[in-house]
Structure 1
Amino acid sequence: MKKMQIFEPAMCCPTGLCGVGVNPELMRISTILNTLKKNGINIDRYNLTNTPQEFVNNKLVNNCLKEKGVESLPIIVLNDEIVITGRYPTNDEFVKLLNIPKIYIGVKPNLMNAKIKKTRGCSCSGGDC
């Protein structure tokens, strides 16, 4: 299983969803991470305020911050490789990076495009009972 870590800028709480003005992007990320967790996918999320030692311990993140500064946050690490800096992954990127079905992030399949086998009202083959 792929290991993803999100290193975020300093926020007042671990998710950034506190106070009166909630950032919609942080709401989206929290929702996706909760949905992934329900599907057995755990992503480590580190906030510079609450877990600064994680930023020091991770040499990739530490070097990125030294070179590019805090503007590079959030930093997304996948299997010990930085894959995104300065923003969160899109929904599609989560799916591609983690190699998971879209339903794992809460996207329901589009049933309107699914081919439905037509019958004459019963479950018999070809409607002949």
Structure 2
Amino acid sequence: MPAIHIYESALCCDTGVCGPDVDQSLLKVTADVRHLQSLGADIARHNLASDPTAFAADESVRGFLHTVGSKGLPLTMVDGVTVTIGSYPNREQLLSFAGLADEAPAEDRTRPELGLSEKSGGCCGGSTSCC
């Protein structure tokens, strides 16, 4: 099975519900990655703040950061090949990258299975911003 690696900018949490503004793209990718993992996909997210060694260990990622900088993130690679830059791939793209087919119909991307919504209070607790 192909190995999918998503390299993202420095974040305080992966869900996107930190602080007053909810980042819908982070909610979506969090749910999508968890869904693919539940299907057995080899997929991982690497946060520049909490997993900098993953960035340093990959020559292609180091070169990308040297040339484009962290403003070009997120960067998605499949078996070492860059497949998307600047935005997160959607669930259908991730399933395709993983060689999997999703038989479930398209659904609301707020992902109730994560217990998250725009008003959930965030991973940082309360209404304070940790980012």
State TM-score, norm by structure 1.
0.74
Preserved contact between residue 8 and residue 48 of structure 1 (Cα < 8 Å): yes
User: How many matched pairs?
Assistant: 106
User: Separation in 2 of the partners of 1:79 and 1:39?
Assistant: 18
1:77 counterpart SS class:
strand
Q: CA RMSD in A?
A: 1.7
Contact kept in structure 1, 2:5 and 2:78, CA below 8 Å: yes
Query: Where does residue 108 of structure 1 map in the other structure?
Result: 105
Which residue does 1:122 correspond to in 2? none
Where structure 2 has 5 or more consecutive residues not aligned to the other structure, the ranges are 107-131
Aligned-pair CA distance for 1:17 = 3.7
Q: Which is bigger in relative contact order (C-alpha 8 A, separation at least 6)?
A: 2
Change (3 A) 1:85 1:14: same
Relative distance call for 1:15 and 1:50 in structure 2 (3 A) is: farther
The answer on 1:80 being equivalent to 2:80 is yes
Amino acid at match of 1:67: T
TM alignment of 1:40-55, pairs within 5 A: 40-55=40-55
Contact 1:2/1:98 (<8 A) preserved: yes
What SS is found at the alignment partner of 1:100?
Answer: coil
1:60 maps to amino acid: S
Q: Deviations over 1:67-113 (max 9, x none)?
A: 1111220010100111111111122211222221123xxx338xxxx
In the other structure, the counterpart of 2:39 is 39
CA-CA distance at 1:8 after TM superposition: 0.4
Letter in 2 for 1:47: N
Q: Which has the higher helix share?
A: 1
C-alpha distance in 2, partners of 1:16/1:94?
19
Contact kept, 8 Å, 1:4 with 1:79, in 2: the verdict is yes
TM-score of the aligned structures, taking structure 2 as reference length: 0.73
